[in-house]
Amino acid sequence: MLIQVKNKDTMVVGNFTFRCCVGKNGTKKHKIEGDKSTPKGTYSLGKIYFRNDRVKKPPRNFKVIKIKSNIGWCNDSNSKYYNKQIFIKKKIRYEKLYRKDNKYDYFIVINYNTKKTIPNKGSAIFIHLTKTFSPTLGCVAIKKSDFLILLKIINKKTKIKIY
């Protein structure tokens, strides 16, 4: 199965076409931290995160992580934890995962710059939720009902291709 993000507002998965949004500055082959662009390329998917105080556990055989108030995602390119889940420490810059809005009630990690991370190449690239389809800071966002359909049709071998 391949998730295709064909342009700034269309995601195609098998027979399904979903409305989506990407980074404010579109897609880029050479992404850098903070450029508000979504990285072009083909990537595997990582863990699925969810807020168990708001939504049901995803019905998948993926590795699933409950989002707690003390976890974040390191976006500090000077840290050895860059582009990894962390327990929040005040000395490291991070993306808050336990949010007041609903963007991260569910999200899937896109394995961009996650294996051998390169500082300043970009971090915290996810498929997450949106209600307004406003441009993201680099992620791909879809509405919750589409995300739940997506969870039912993808598997561990699914890749995402961003054009």
Q: Which CATH superfamily is domain 2-162 in?
A: L,D-transpeptidase catalytic domain-like (2.40.440.10)
* Residues 18-29 pLDDT 10s: 999 999 999 999
Q: Can you name the residues that pair with 123 across neighbouring β-strands?
A: none
Task: Tell me the pLDDT band of 89, cut-offs 50, 70 and 90.
Answer: confident
Contacts of 28 (CB under 8 A, 6+ apart): 35, 37, 38, 39, 40
pLDDT (tens digit, 9 = 90+) per residue, 93-126? Answer: 999 999 999 999 999 999 999 999 999 999 999 9
pLDDT value of residue 61: 73
